Structure formats: structure tokens, C-alpha cells
Structure 1
Amino acid sequence: MKKQALEFSIEKASEKDIHELAQVYLKGYKGLEEYSYTHIDDVIAYLNWLFRRDVAGIFVAKYEGQIIGFVASDGNWFSKREGKVVGAIHELVVLPDYRSKGVGKALVEKVIEYFKSRGLDTAELWVGEENYEAINFYRWLGFESKDRFNYWIRMVKKL
């Protein structure tokens, strides 16, 4: 039996989405709390920081009017390790029930398109060293492990 494709949309996020994004964040990090904020107030403060960094670089995936995932990026991030401005992916969160359905891939593709529109040639992100599902996903998308800091792995993709 062929799996039916999930029909979802990718849209720009707005600050009015913050409370819904916070819920998605907390549900998405269930079981990976060592790599995340765990208190709702901290998550909301973090999301506000992300919007202040680059409001144009935050996109949501919606299914039947509900946010099922989001990506938060910064198209003006100075990477000390790269020695230049790169596109930084700060967060990629997809609700567990919607993983492996193309949502994360579509969100990353959207943000890479955004980085290219800004003239950037490199994307980078940091991922928890034991978040194997995410590490494998990013490798599948062409990101390469470059270095590490404590329990974080920096992954880079040339655009």
C-alpha cells in the first residue's frame, strides 16, 4: 500500500505564532531535554530572541491550520569558525507525529532558499552529539560534521 503524501504549507512565521511555536518546541524536544529549554517562559524568551535576530528567517509548516513544525534561522550570523557571515539554522523542530513525512526537509529547503537570496554560500547549525536522528537527517541533506564544542556538533553545508 502506497503512503499518502502529507499536504502541508510552508509560510513565514510571525510573532503572533510565538505561543504555538513554544508548544511545538516543547513537544518536539520531548526526550531530548538536555539540548533544549524546558520551561515555557524560557522557550518564549528564546523565541522572542530568534524573532529579534532575523524575523524574515523563521518559517512554519502548517497542516490543517495547525503548526506542525518550524525552522528558525539567521541570515546575518557571523561564524567565528568560518570567519564570515553564514546562514545559521538555530532551530528545526517537527512534531513527532509528522516526522519522516517531508516536513523537516521542506523547512530546511525553504531556509536554504532564504540564505541564497541573501547571497550566502554557507549554512551552519549545531546539534546535540546524541541526537542521532537529527545528525543523520542533516547528513542526508548534505551537511558535514566540522567540529564540536562540549556536547554540540557543528555541521556545515556549502550552498
Structure 2
Amino acid sequence: MKKQALELSIEKASEKDIQQLAQIYLEGYKGLEEYSYTHMDDVVAYLNWLFRRDIAGIFVAKHRGKIIGFVASDGNWFSKREGKVVGAIHELVIHPEYRSKGVGKALMEKVMEYFKGRGLDTAELWVGEENYEAINFYRSLGFESRDKFNYWIRMTKKLDN
């Protein structure tokens, strides 16, 4: 079956989107709860923290005006392992009904553009060791596994500016 690309718009997220993002987060992590918050209040608190970290680095994907996924990135993140400020991707969540349709790729392209615009040369993320779909997706975008901490794998990608 051929993958079908969706009509998408990628926009900056706003704090008024937090409830919708929390709902997508909970849907998106079904089956991977060991890597996520599982209660709405905790998810909302986490999303509020992400907005405080770097409000300019959070983007939503919309299809026909409806939010179907988001990426929360941070262009101010000091990576102890890299020893410098990197572009950190804290969350990439796509509603399960919209996966494998180019949504994640479009959001990641937007974030890489954002990081490059900030003059950063490295992107970093952590992914659950058994989240094979996500690991393979990140590898397809040029991320490489670097190290592991408990059940998290750290992946990085060099950005060409």
C-alpha cells in the first residue's frame, strides 16, 4: 500500500493548544506507557514546562485545521554529554491515525530549520530503547545512537549550517 501524504500546515504552537496536545500525547503513547506520563494532570504540567523552556521551539502539525501531532524542541539545551548547547527534541508525538503519512518528517524538518536558525550544529534526543518505530524513524533522518542511560537511548545528528 502506497503511503499517502496529507495536506499539512506546520505552525508555532501556542499555550492555548496545551489541552489538545496533552490528548494527542496520551493517544500517541498508548502501548509505550513506560516512557511517558500517563495522567492528564502530569502531561499538562510537563507540556507547561516545555513551553517555559522554549516557547519558540514547539510546533504543531495541522490537517484541515485540526492538530494531529506536535514536536517540542529546545534551542537552549545544554547537553552534558556533548558539553555544549544543542537543539534538544523533547517530544515528537503524532496521533496514531496519522502516522506514516509524512507528519513526523515535516515536523522534524521544521525543527532542524529552527535549530540551524539559532546557529546550533547538533540535534539531540532520547528515545525509549524498545520504541523501535521511533528509533528507525530517527535513523532514517540521519540520527545516530550515541549512548544509553537506563532504558533510554541518546541519539544525535550533526546539522549543516
Fold-level similarity (TM above 0.5): yes
- Seq. identity, %: 87
Q: Return closer, same or farther for 1:64/1:124 CA change in 2, 3 Å cut-off.
A: same
Instruction: Tell me by how many angstroms 1:3 deviates.
Output: 5.3
2:135 maps to 135
Instruction: Tell me by how many angstroms 1:2 deviates.
Output: 6.0
Deviations 1:91-131 (A, max 9, x none): 00001111110000000010000000000000000000000
> Unaligned 5+ residue runs, structure 2?
none
Instruction: Tell me by how many angstroms 1:5 deviates.
Output: 2.7
1:152 aligns to 2:147 (yes or no): no
> Unaligned 5+ residue runs, structure 1?
none
Q: Secondary structure at the match of 1:126?
A: strand
- Give me the whole-angstrom Cα distance separating, in 2, the residues matched to 1:13 and 1:138: 22
TM-score by length of 1: 0.98
TM-score by length of 2: 0.97
- Give me the whole-angstrom Cα distance separating, in 2, the residues matched to 1:24 and 1:2: 25
1:123 maps to 123
1:29 maps to 29
Instruction: Tell me by how many angstroms 1:67 deviates.
Output: 0.7
2:48 maps to 48
- Give me the whole-angstrom Cα distance separating, in 1, the residues matched to 2:2 and 2:148: 40
After TM superposition, which residue ranges in structure 1, 4 or more long, deviate above 4 angstroms? 1-4
Q: What RMSD in Å do the two structures reach over aligned CA positions? A: 1.0
